[in-house]
Amino acid sequence: MASQAEIRRADILGTVRHSGHARVDDLAERFEVSVMTIHRDLDFLAEEGQIERVRGGAKFVEPEFSETNVETRRETNVDVKKALASYVATLVSTGDIVALDDSTTVEYCVPDVLSAGPVGIITHSLKVLNVVSAHAPEVALTGAGGRYCVETDSFLGQATCNAVERLNATVSIVSTTCINAAGIYHPDEDAAITKSAFVRLGTRKILVSDSSK
């Protein structure tokens, strides 16, 4: 499960995003922790590039169209991702055909999803392909090829979309980089169209995300 610090930092980020800025004293009072704890939380969020430290507090940073490398993302918010994975597995049934995108959040769902008994997996993630082939050889595995992108360890772009346009799944499980009232976003165009194609695959769609998005 997520630690108290991770939950508090996600809530702090939500507060700063909603207001555009926040003061240390106000955050300490709201979350009933010390000023030094808030300073450490803000320093952490600033290092992640999610806020900008300013005198006496922090302000929200509009997300740039870039994404951290896949190895860094695999080691970020691990407890939160594991908790999400446990819940996602309860939404998958024996006999499902599951489409999985290339996000690291969805990667963490793979063992739990396999334990639910799907008969098929469709993915464009090289990591997911390797995990499923190694640990669940009985599951029908379909890999969507295309342009390999080392930054995401996956296949992206129109060729990947073409590879899945005639496929169907009972469930699509995807994550994304940013969510707001208007919809979900990704900084890379090829990644965005590929994720959209995977969303369309499933009769049911599951968006897996934590509050930092």
Among 125, 120, 90, 131, smallest CA distance to 104 is for 125
Name the residue ranges covered by the structural domains of the chain. 4-60, 70-207
Q: Which residue has the tokens 């995108």?
A: 101
Instruction: Judge contact between 142 and 168, C-beta under 8 A.
Output: no
Which one is the CATH code of 70-207: 3.60.70.12, 3.40.50.1360, 1.10.2020.10, 3.90.550.10? 3.40.50.1360
How far apart, in whole angstroms, are the C-alpha atoms of residue 102 and residue 127?
8
Own/partner pairs, 202-206, CB within 8 angstroms, 24+ separation: 202/98, 202/99, 202/169, 202/170, 202/171, 202/172, 202/173, 203/168, 203/169, 203/170, 203/171, 204/91, 204/170, 204/171, 204/172, 205/171, 205/172, 205/174, 206/88, 206/91, 206/171, 206/172, 206/173, 206/174
Which one is the CATH code of 4-60: 3.40.50.1220, 2.102.10.10, 1.10.10.10, 1.10.3190.10? 1.10.10.10
pTM of the model: 0.66
pLDDT-based confidence at residue 182 (cuts at 50, 70, 90): low
The model's pLDDT over 69-122, given as tens digits with 9 standing for 90+, comes to 666 666 667 888 889 999 999 999 999 999 999 998 999 999 999 999 999 999
Q: Which two tokens stand for residue 111?
A: 């063992």
**Which segments of 78-139 are extended strands (E)?**
97-100, 120-123
Q: What is the mean pLDDT of residues 162-172?
A: 95
Weakest-pLDDT range from 42-46, 128-132, 200-204: 42-46
The model's pLDDT over 201-211, given as tens digits with 9 standing for 90+, comes to 999 999 998 76
How far apart, in whole angstroms, are the C-alpha atoms of residue 19 and residue 14?
9
pLDDT-based confidence at residue 49 (cuts at 50, 70, 90): confident
Q: Decide: helix, strand or coil at residue 204.
A: strand
